[in-house]
Amino acid sequence: MIYSNIIKEINKGSKNISKSFQELIEAFEKEGCPICRVIDFSTDNYFESILYEFVNDPKVRKDLRESLGYCPSHSDQLKKIVEKSYHKLGASIIIEDIIKEFIKKFSEFSKLSLKQLKNINILNQNCPACIYQNKYENIYYLEISDNLENEDFFKRFSKSEGLCFSHLAGLLKTIKSSAVRNKIIENQKLKLIEINKELNAFINKHDYQNKEKITSGEAKALGKALKKMMRG
């Protein structure tokens, strides 16, 4: 069934289909946590937009100076985008600005005592990309919680590989109905039981007495388990 027909089937009688709804439906069909997938895509677009259109935007530059750049996770994401794109000049302009702020901070640090230094957190506290990401995570949480009564939507959600622990916790906080929350918890628990079953089989098949071949699912089990814990 082609994608447009999936949307029509799920939303019979509905005229307004949001972009976030469509993105989730696509993500349900792919590997990994669907919210991680759509969030990573949205954040990639955020960085592309910053590097292409807003390098010289006063507010963007001010926010980055005040936050001392991005958190480690988003710095790594930005690095990967720059490495595979033509945005090295834009990234250099932004990073140079941030480095200047660090130089100012280091000059201030030289005047502080050890006790004062221990009370300082040099890492940024308000990563602009985290703020952007949190905003969109809430949009996707609400999109899912608003459509869980849609039988076909829930069916597709249930057949996905499931959410990472972080996004599952975030989603559960948006659902008022305890019955629906428990339905999701049970669905996600069954996915973990299956992963653990395959992990256990992978471990046991390394016994020297074992004659059975490791299946594709068993070989992928560790990667799936790690993604559950790490986002992804």
Burial classification of residue 69, based on how many CB atoms lie within 10 Å of its CB (0-12 exposed, 13-18 middle, 19 or more buried): buried
Evaluate whether residue 156 is within a structural domain: yes
- Asked whether residue 7 carries a pLDDT value surpassing 70, the answer given is no
How many CB atoms neighbour CB 52 within 10 A? 12
pLDDT range class, residue 10, cuts 50, 70, 90: very low
CA 107, CA 69: separation in Å to the nearest integer? 18
The string of DSSP letters for 73-89 reads: HHHHHHHHHHHTSS-HH
Evaluate whether residue 203 is within a structural domain: yes
Evaluate whether residue 3 is within a structural domain: no
Evaluate whether residue 183 is within a structural domain: yes
Structure pTM?
0.79
CA 175, CA 186: separation in Å to the nearest integer? 15
Q: Which domain range does residue 204 map to?
A: 18-230
pLDDT range class, residue 9, cuts 50, 70, 90: very low
Evaluate whether residue 137 is within a structural domain: yes
Q: Are 119 and 89 in contact (CB under 8 A)?
A: no
Length of the chain, in residues: 232
Evaluate whether residue 9 is within a structural domain: no
Which CA distances in Å does 128 have to 20, 71, 164, 181, 209? Answer: 21, 9, 23, 31, 54
**What local confidence, expressed as pLDDT, does residue 4 receive?**
42
Nearest residue to 169 (alpha-carbon basis) of 184, 183, 154: 184
Evaluate whether residue 132 is within a structural domain: yes
- The 10s digit of each residue's pLDDT in 201-212 is 999 989 888 888
Q: How many domains does the chain have?
A: 1
**What local confidence, expressed as pLDDT, does residue 8 receive?**
47
Evaluate whether residue 204 is within a structural domain: yes
**What local confidence, expressed as pLDDT, does residue 84 receive?**
87
CA 116, CA 30: separation in Å to the nearest integer? 49
In the chain the first and final C-alpha atoms are separated, in Å, by 26
